[in-house]
């Protein structure tokens, strides 16, 4: 019996050793590149104080959890309430950086959320909550005073340091292998453009998890006729709605803008032989199509409101006798169309055209230009006019990225 037990033990040991050798010789499963910021913790962004939108915030404190319902006002004057639904379990994340809105004195803003930062985030980012977990840091941006005083470049380095710090904290503590969309307008888009060129394009993990970048109102430039090169060496221009790891970029001018016609445009300009990108989120393949915009009922806060050319007072030509809008947003279907244009001066832009009817009850125009800042066009509403199209496109890109995983 002892011999049998010893023999059985030897055979079992041999089998175990063989299994062990076999496992050691098996190819290792590729876990993919590591998260470059795993374990990174930022002191300013480790709590909830310096976030406008964050999954850990309560709905009361989370700007991206606010009411986004809209009243659709049709050409015949009829209306319909469109409810906004946030995704209960989003599959991807969105990381948003707001534009220059701070009226704080000095070159850089503080880290206190103001009405302007909240307004921009609510209008430009919150609607992405339809399919995204939302992250929107407060950062010490270069202020409006910095623009007027010619110190924008000086303030930009401090602002970018905050954006990078908050992004690294998000990646190190919340990403957990999820795809992410980068969203920014104007100054915010400029900081994200630098983030992509300096950081994302130099790391395989970040490139693999970049669903797309919606960088609006700050030119991304490329060689004419190419979709890659120039500002970005690996991130291509988005040409189809299911393309991922690519960039959406444009600036909007009215079709009748006299400063644009005179070659005085500030945005979408060529530089060093490179052409500004224009990708119409409503029609990546080109053409003049209706834009799905959302306008806020509330006035723009702070000093900015006083600087806006007033062309309309809401969605109705006669707002005094029109029915009240009970939602925080309104939309005017088939009112504005847009198409990408490359003009004779080399300006590449999204051209907006109003399709008004003086005989119908709707307003015949909309607000978007500044009294000051000549050549800025419709910079104020770069994201407002095609907001629904941006969200629809982001949703399709997110679904495509998730299907590839």
Going from N- to C-terminal start, the domains of the chain cover 51-404
How far apart CA 118 and CA 171 sit, in angstroms, is 23
Segment 16-61, tens digit of pLDDT: 333 333 344 443 345 789 999 999 999 999 999 999 999 999 999 9
pLDDT at 14 over 50: no
User: Is 288 exposed, middle or buried, given 0-12, 13-18 or 19+ CB atoms closer than 10 A?
Assistant: middle
Of 120-134, 149-163, 269-283, 368-382, the one with minimum mean pLDDT is: 149-163
End-to-end CA distance of the chain: 56
pLDDT at 17: 36
Backbone φ and ψ for 108, nearest 5 degrees, come out as -120, 145
Of 151-155, 196-200, 281-285, the one with minimum mean pLDDT is: 151-155
| Alpha-helical segments (H) within 199-344 | 204-209, 258-261
pLDDT at 397: 98
pLDDT at 307: 85
Segment 82-101, tens digit of pLDDT: 999 999 999 999 999 999 99
pLDDT at 147: 85
Q: In whole angstroms, how far apart are CA 62 and each of 52, 66, 84, 191, 309?
A: 6, 7, 16, 23, 31
* Extended strands (E) in 74-114: 79-82, 92-97
**Torsion sign over Cα 255, 259, 261, 263:** negative
Strand partners, 325: none
pLDDT at 104 over 60: yes
How far apart CA 116 and CA 332 sit, in angstroms, is 24
């Amino acid at each position: 019996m002892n011999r049998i037990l010893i023999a059985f033990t030897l055979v079992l040991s041999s089998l175990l050793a063989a299994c062990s050798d076999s496992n050691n010789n098996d190819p290792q499963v590729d876990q993919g590149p590591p998260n470059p910021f795993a374990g990174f913790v930022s002191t300013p962004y480790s709590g909830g104080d310096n976030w406008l939108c964050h999954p850990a915030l309560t709905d009361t404190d989370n700007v991206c959890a606010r009411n986004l319902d809209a009243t659709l006002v049709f050409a015949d004057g009829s209306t319909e309430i469109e409810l906004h639904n946030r995704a209960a379990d989003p599959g991807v994340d969105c990381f948003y950086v707001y534009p220059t809105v701070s009226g704080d004195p000095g070159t850089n803003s503080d880290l206190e959320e103001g009405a302007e930062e909240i307004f921009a985030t609510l209008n430009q980012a919150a609607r992405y909550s339809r399919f995204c977990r939302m992250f929107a840091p407060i950062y010490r941006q270069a202020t409006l005073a910095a623009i007027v005083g010619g110190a924008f470049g000086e303030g930009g380095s401090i602002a970018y340091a905050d954006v990078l710090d908050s992004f690294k904290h998000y990646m190190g503590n919340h990403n957990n292998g999820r795809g992410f969309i980068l969203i920014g307008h104007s100054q915010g888009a400029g900081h994200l453009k630098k983030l992509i060129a300096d950081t994302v394009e130099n790391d395989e993990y970040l490139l693999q998890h970049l669903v797309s970048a919606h960088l609006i109102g700050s030119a991304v430039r490329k060689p004419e006729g190419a979709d890659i090169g120039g500002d970005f060496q690996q991130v291509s221009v988005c040409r189809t709605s299911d393309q991922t790891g690519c960039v959406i970029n444009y600036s909007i001018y009215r079709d009748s803008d006299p400063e644009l016609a005179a070659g005085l445009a500030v945005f979408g300009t060529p530089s060093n032989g490179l052409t500004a990108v224009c990708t119409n989120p409503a029609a990546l393949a080109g053409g003049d199509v209706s834009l799905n915009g959302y306008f806020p009922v509330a006035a723009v806060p702070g000093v900015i409101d006083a600087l806006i050319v007033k062309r309309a007072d809401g969605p109705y030509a006669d707002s005094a006798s029109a029915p009240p809008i009970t939602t925080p947003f309104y939309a005017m279907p088939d009112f504005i169309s847009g198409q990408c244009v490359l003009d004779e001066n080399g300006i590449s832009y999204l051209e907006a055209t109003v399709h008004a009817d003086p005989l119908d009850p709707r307003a015949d125009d909309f607000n978007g230009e500044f009294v000051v800042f000549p050549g800025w066009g419709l910079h104020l509403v770069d994201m407002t006019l095609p907001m629904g199209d941006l969200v629809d496109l982001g949703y399709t890109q997110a679904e495509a990225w998730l299907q590839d995983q």
